[in-house]
Amino acid sequence: MRGGDGILGNREVERRNAFVSTTRRKWLKRREIWLVVLGVILHAVYMMSIFDIYFKTPIVHGMDPVAPRFSAPAKRLVLLVADGLRADKFFEPDSEGHYRAPFLRTIIKGQGRWGVSHARPPTESRPGHVAIIAGFYEDPSAVTKGWKANPVEFDSVFNRSRHTFAFGSPDIIPIFCGAVPHSTWNAYPHEFEDFATDASFLDEWSFDQFQSLLNRSSEDSKLEKLLLQDNLVVFLHLLGCDSNGHAHRPYSSIYLNNVKVVDSIAERVYHLIEDYYKDNSTAYIFTADHGMSDKGSHGDGHPSNTDTPLVAWGAGIKYPKPMSSTNHSHCSFRFVDEHMHDTPTPTEWGLHGIERVDVNQADIAPLMSTLIGLPCPVNSVGSLPLDYINMIEVEEVHAVLANTEQVLNQFLRKSYIKQSNSLYFKPFKPLANCSSILDQIEHLISVRDYEAAMKLLENLRSLALQGLHYFQTYDWLMLMTVITLGYIGWMIYLVLHILQSYTSLPGNMLRKEQAVHQRNYTRKVYLFGCMLMGLLSVLLFLEHSPPLYHAYATMTVFLWTQIVSEYWLIKALWKHLHGRKFNYIVKLLVTTAVSVVILEFLVNSFTDRKLYTWCFLTIGVAASLYLYKSIPWRSGIPIFVCIACWFLSVFTLMPAEIPDNNQLVIVSGAMIILIGIVARWLNLHAEGKYWLSISNHEVKKPKFPMLFQLQALLVGLSLVMVSLSTSHRTQKQELLALHQLINWSIAGFSMVLPLFSANGLLSRLTSIFLGFAPTFLLLSIGYEAVFYGALALVLMAWIIFENTVLYFSKVKKSSASSNNENDSVIFKLDERCLQLSDVRIPLIFMILFNVAFFGTGNFASIASFEISSVYRFITVFSPFLMAALLIFKLFIPFMLVICSFSAITKLHRLPRLGCYFLVIIFSDVMTIHFFFLVRNTGSWMEIGNSISHFGIMSAQVVFVLLLFALTNIYTKDIQCNSALATSHKAM
């Protein structure tokens, strides 16, 4: 009976253990689903934070315009904007020594003032015109809302005028005149903007419209009365230089001839106005919104894009002044494009003897307002350039006072709004007594001490601009702190989960300590966390903070509440570390430091993909030397690993714009078949302890023994179709429907075949490699097809390297038999605990995953990939299908990397979700860095890339998981022969 009881007792214990094991696995599964959902929500919420920090509108409403206290020097203003006109092409002579703008040069030398207007990046048409007409630099919040309409209503010179007449581009004129009731405007149809023609006729169209308007006034008394009023603005937008620069480049004869056209239009407008009014009361301003690079593009901060001509003449404008050393006093002053004040004028311009007055582009708005006696636009941040205006001293002071008060009013309004919404307000201290400064200025003006008043005004305006920036970034410290703490909290929470669920740390000790204290403690922590969330929400509500502020704070407090609730686990971990040897602590710190260095390297690779060349050259040497200690050179494995890494290093030196090379695609297809044949031979015939885990010796024969030959045949057939499809395209023949059908069939059928391959590690990965090759080749146009084979070789080298490490690691041998005994409650039979040395696997995965980003271009910008890649599948323009094909082509290298990663986790018997969480932790280290690298200044490309880099890393919590799920279809039944198990059997 006793024996029977014992047997029954043993069965009861086994049953109880099985029940506990099942319960723990269910708990772990629920917890991991919860973690994934939490990660998705957290990254989605925190991704929105950059728009509250970096892209918040600088515009405030509620200020009253400052009425000028001086008489207007001019009755009307003519603004001519030559879109895309470079300063150097405007001022320099042509090859025969003749200047391209003879009329405006005559004005510069005898009638008006000149200089260079410095634009702030992004140097695009809309921001440039906003700066010229409204006096502020493009609202960065417009990044999220498009450029066609005003994302936020703003004031402009046109709003303040009595009437505005405007003619030009449909992309510009409606922005400024569409909502202005006192305006008369017209724009040509979009169809006129044809890059295949000389676009100077667009400039002539604008002039013809204005000339027609003046001619009609002789028959239209209302129009004539309107034209004879004061405070009028005439705006002609001349798009020709921009369109011709894009189509033909700014050094082309068409572009350079367009410079002569705009000069001719300026001359004709001048004579037309003067003949019509005959009162010498018109002011003229000629400028450009941005320049043009030699490549025919614009947007960045290069001088060819930021330097634009400025010529002013007419009523209220000073006459030319000879150049002298005392003309300017602000020699250390920098313009908004970071160019120094008083940069030397090129001698070829032929204007070195005439004073040059450079301005910031936003300074033109207060200049125009002052010339016709209007209040400055209430949102303007421009400074009135006195060197252009012909006024007596008292009027100059009053004009600068009006400009300064207008900027100061913006500051006071922002200060008031922030103070009324803040429980603890921190004022901008330098302007705490601005009212007394204004009183002092008024006193100095009354006693006619204009020089002292002017110095105080300039200082006050400078402080007001600093104050505007202070309130624009007022919440930055708080928001950045909350977001950074949130990311750090998320990473710590994941680390605790990994340590608790996937490592061999002393679980029994943790459970005993937790059982005694944790329940009551956790309740208290959650209660305190809820109270803190409630308190922060109330404070944010009282401060009228946006809804997302509540989400940021709540998410961060929630994460840290979860961390604090794990106090007993953290305490036990501290005791565990405290009891370990010093060597282990050093190893832990070194691993952490190396991980951070690698992740920082990956961050920098987003802006310089050539770093991967040095990376793989180094890795090739280091890996082969490491293997040499374990594997003799005669095996060829160390040499293969080195050559594979060096081969891949070549591709990040190649241009992102892939040149067409059909022969290279065909050669790479042959290389892919050769790689498949070698892998097949190794899988079936390679002998020795180095191949035990990955070969197919002990796996049963596949159901389809001819599968490999079929896959190789499909790769060859895809090469034939590449050649046929390309020859049709080069001969400008339509792609046959039969060819399209064959291409689609090859691509679809080949990707299904790996599911029917043998489930040995090497055989399945070879089948996946050959299965996606036809699709990739049909979508390739050049060297990226070779990259596919090179990446596969490196992935093979990685698998061989890991197999060697697995076989020769004594730590692995000693732990393999004990891990599952302690933690079989959670782990499956084919999994073991994570160890510190396993960190290298997610790190190598991160490097290879990023190489898939940048090996043949820049995944952060799909525009960097060639659209002709999809022409073998579709030739009729279909943006969604073309984009889908292009994106799928980019996904194929990612899928190879993730399939190899999954195979390696099976080889090492690692929990795949544990490795996934390590990848997310590493991704978030990079995410934090990219969070601080987001830009709200510079070209649209620089701004967009900084956002996309941050967004891509934030999205990896979903992106990588989806690819894991997709590749799991191919890798879930891979089987590895454990080298360790085999060695134990041999022993």
- Among 156-170, 433-447, 931-945, the range scoring the smallest mean pLDDT is 931-945
Identify the three-state secondary structure at position 326: coil
Contacts of 288 (CB under 8 A, 6+ apart): 81, 82, 83, 84, 85, 86, 87, 90, 117, 128, 241, 308, 309
* pLDDT attached to residue 644: 93
Distance of alpha carbon 307 from alpha carbon 300, whole angstroms: 12
Residue 827, C-beta contacts closer than 8 angstroms, at least 6 positions apart: 819, 820, 833, 911
**pLDDT score, position 213:** 95
Which three-class secondary structure state does DSSP give residue 390?
coil
pLDDT 10s digits, 650-664: 888 887 666 667 788
DSSP string computed for 859-896: TT-GGGS-GGGGTTT--S--HHHHHHHHHHHHHHHHHH
pLDDT at 148 over 70: no
How many CB atoms within 10 Å of residue 804?
A: 24
Residue 800 lies in a domain: yes
Q: Tell me the C-alpha distance between 372 and 161, whole Å.
A: 9
Q: What is the dihedral of CA 397, 401, 402, 404, to 10 degrees?
A: 140
Q: Has residue 147 got a pLDDT over 50? A: no
| Closest residue by Cα to residue 463 from 417, 386, 425, 411 | 411
Measured CA angle at 611 (ends 606, 617), to 5 deg = 145
Percent residues over pLDDT 90 in the chain: 44
Note whether residue 54 is domain-resident. no
* Range with the poorest average pLDDT among 75-79, 686-690, 787-791, 934-938: 686-690
pLDDT tier at 816, thresholds 50, 70, 90:
very low
Does the residue 290 lie in any domain? yes
Q: At residue 224, what is the residue type? A: E
Q: What is the pLDDT of residues 941-981, one digit of tens each?
A: 677 778 888 988 898 888 888 888 888 888 888 877 654 44
Band (pLDDT 50/70/90 cuts) for residue 332 is very low
Lowest mean pLDDT among 233-247, 838-852, 867-881: 867-881
Within 452-608, strands assigned E span none
Closest CA to 565 of 503, 486, 489: 489
Average pLDDT over the chain reads: 83
pLDDT at site 12: 61
Q: In what order do the strands lie in the sheet with 307-314?
A: 183-187, 163-168, 232-238, 76-82, 282-287, 307-314, 112-118, 359-360
Residues 129 and 175: beta-carbon distance below 8 Å: yes
Supply 279's token pair: 């009162």
HEC string for 745-805: HHHHHHHHHHHHCCCEHHHHHHHHHHHHHHHHHHCCCCCHHHHHHHHHHHHHHHHHHHHHH
Residue 621: HSE in the Cβ half-sphere, 13 Å Cα cutoff: 5
> What is the arithmetic mean of pLDDT over 475-482?
92
For residue 879, is it within any domain?
yes
Helix (H) or strand (E) holding 436: helix 434-446
Provide the pairing of β-strand 359-360 with 112-118.
Answer: parallel
**Amino acid (one-letter) located at 93:** P
Residue 261's pLDDT is: 96
- Residue 726 parent element (H or E): helix 707-730
Please write the tens of the pLDDT for every residue from 775-794.
988 888 778 888 999 999 99
Helix, strand or coil for residue 853?
helix
- Domain end point (choices 390, 406, 422): 390
Structural domain includes residue 785:
yes
The secondary element (H helix, E strand) that includes residue 267 is helix 253-277
Q: How many CB atoms lie within 10 A of CB 582?
A: 7
Q: Is residue 137 part of a domain?
A: yes
Q: What is the pLDDT of residue 300?
A: 79
What H or E segment, with its residue span, contains residue 360? strand 359-360
pLDDT of residue 665: 84
Domain of 257, in residue numbers: 76-326+339-390
The pLDDT of 710-719, averaged and rounded, is 90
Residue 269 and residue 207: Cα distance in Å, rounded? 7
Q: Compute the distance between CA of residue 381 and CA of residue 154 in angstroms, rounded to an integer.
A: 13
Could you please report the per-residue DSSP string of 71-139? --S-SEEEEEEETT--HHHHHSB-TTS-BS-HHHHHHHHHTEEEEEEEPPSS--HHHHHHHHHHSS---
Single-letter amino acid code for the residue at 103: F
Tell me what pLDDT residue 819 has.
42
920 contacts: CB under 8 Å, gap ≥ 6: 39, 494, 956, 957, 960
- According to the model, what pLDDT value does residue 478 have? 92
Average pLDDT over residues 231-243: 94
The bridge status of strand 76-82 relative to strand 282-287 is parallel
Name all contacts of 179-187 with Cβ < 8 Å and 24+ positions apart: 179/150, 179/153, 183/158, 184/213, 184/226
For residue 112, give the nearest of 371, 354, 317 by alpha carbon.
Answer: 317
Mean pLDDT on 299-312:
89
- Single out the residue of 68, 66, 115 nearest to residue 371, CA to CA: 68
* Residue closest to 980 by CA, chosen among 804, 813, 800, 832: 813
Report the SS3 class of residue 284. Answer: strand
Residue 689 has pLDDT above 70, yes or no: no
What is the pLDDT at residue 504?
Answer: 74
pLDDT of residue 154: 84
165 pairs with which residues across the strands?
A: 184, 234
Please check the confidence at residue 246 and state whether its pLDDT lies above 60. yes
Three-class secondary structure of residue 308 per DSSP: strand
Say which CATH number the domain at 118 has: 3.40.720.10
Let me know if residue 449 belongs to a domain.
Answer: no
Question: Domain total for the chain?
Answer: 2
Q: Between 690 and 838, whose confidence is greater?
A: 838
Is 295:305 a contact under the CB 8 Å cutoff? no
Q: What does the pLDDT read at residue 860?
A: 46
Residue 707 and residue 767 in contact, taking contact as beta carbons nearer than 8 Å: yes
pLDDT reported for residue 341: 53
Residue with tokens 């061999």: 504
Least confident residue range of 11-15, 46-50, 97-101: 11-15
Distances (CA, A) of 710 to 755, 968, 974: 14, 23, 21
Cβ proximity of 241 and 169 under 8 Å: no
Is a pLDDT exceeding 70 seen at residue 81?
A: yes
**For residue 142, what pLDDT is reported?**
59
> What pLDDT, on a 0 to 100 scale, did the predictor assign at position 812?
44
pTM attached to this predicted model = 0.79
Instruction: Report pLDDT for 442.
Output: 92
Domain termination site, one of 390, 413, 432: 390
3-state secondary structure of 186: strand
Angle in degrees, 0-180, between the axes of helices 507-542 and 567-578, rounded to the nearest 10: 130
The per-residue pLDDT for range 181-213, each reduced to its tens digit, is 999 999 999 888 776 678 899 999 999 999 999
Q: What is the mean pLDDT of residues 787-810?
A: 85
pLDDT given for residue 982 in this prediction: 40
Please indicate, yes or no, if residue 780 is contained in any of the structural domains.
Answer: yes
CA end-to-end distance (rounded Å), the chain: 40
At 595 the pLDDT is: 94
**663-675: per-residue pLDDT in tens?**
888 888 899 999 9
pLDDT of residue 150: 56
Range 57-82 average pLDDT: 91
Q: How many helices (H) and strands (E) does the chain have?
A: 34, 8
Please write the tens of the pLDDT for every residue from 521-558.
778 888 998 999 999 999 999 888 889 999 999 999 99
